[in-house]
Structures are given as C-alpha cells and as structure tokens.
Amino acid sequence: MHIFKFLILLLSINLNCCGLNPCTEEDVFRQTSPDNLVDVIVINRNCGATTSISNSVYIVPKGELTDKYRPVFVADHVVNLKVKWLKSKFLVISYAEARIFEFTNFWNSRYIENFMYEVRIKEIQIDTILRK
C-alpha cells in the first residue's frame, strides 16, 4: 500500500514538473481606457472540479498580454462582476458577491509615461440587481 501511495506521489510530482497545468484561463472581457494607453482585461481561471472559478482583473499597456503583470483584483465566488472606466486613469470594479483574495487600488507603469491609474471596488446590493 505504501508503494502505491509513493508511486502516485511521484506521478503527480512528475506531471507538475513537466508543465502539465490542469488550469485553463479565458479572457472574458477587454476594454481600452479613455486615454487609449492601457487595457483592462478580465480573466476566468478554472482549475477543475475541486476548485471554484476565479476572476482576475488586469491593467496592461494597450494590446499586451497579462503574463508580465500582476492582477489588480483576484476573487472567486463572484456574482455580477463588472469593470468600467469612469474616466481616464480611473477604473471601477463592481460585484454583488465575491471572496476577494487580492486587490490594489492603483496601477502604474514606467512604460506608460509613468502615469498612475486609480482602481476602486464597489459592492452592489443584491436588491439593486433584482430591481433591474
């Protein structure tokens, strides 16, 4: 029995080391900021049946991918997630429910004229959603 458990452990380590990632990521939303310099991207990450789908929000230079940047917002169990540029350099992330793991209220890049973008989160009341 111990040998069987050991072999399973070795197999799982081997699969992880070979780059087999059970998680999938899907871009579900991308919008350019009003100043036309950056994009906001929402990604759904699904790692299988034993985990919930997580949502990540990134700000990246226009047209770039997310792989070089950290998310400004990460949560799971998200209901009614919306992102909206209110004006240049000001992004609002709203949701009805969420378990938030990571949030930062600003984003900047030395490659984008060293501007700083403000990020806010806003919880929407469920009864407000139901009235619409």
Residue at 53 is within a domain? yes
Place 22 in a pLDDT band, splitting at 50, 70 and 90: confident
Query: Which pLDDT value is given to residue 41?
Result: 98
Residue at 6 is within a domain? no
Query: Which pLDDT value is given to residue 100?
Result: 97
Residue at 9 is within a domain? no
Residue at 12 is within a domain? no
Place 85 in a pLDDT band, splitting at 50, 70 and 90: very high
Q: Is the pLDDT of residue 120 over 80?
A: yes
Question: Which of the residue ranges 14-23, 96-105, 119-128 would you say has the lowest mean pLDDT?
Answer: 14-23
Residue at 11 is within a domain? no
Expressed as residue numbers, the domain containing 112 is 23-131
Residue at 17 is within a domain? no
Please write down the HEC assignment for all residues of the chain. Answer: CHHHHHHHHHHHHHHHHCCCCCCEEEEEEEEECCCCCEEEEEEEEECCCCCCCEEEEEEEECCCCCCCCCCCEEEEEEECCEEEEEECCEEEEEECEEEEEEECCEEECCCCCCCEEEEEEEECCHHHHHHC
Structural domain total, the chain: 1
The pTM of the full predicted model, rounded to 2 decimals, is 0.77
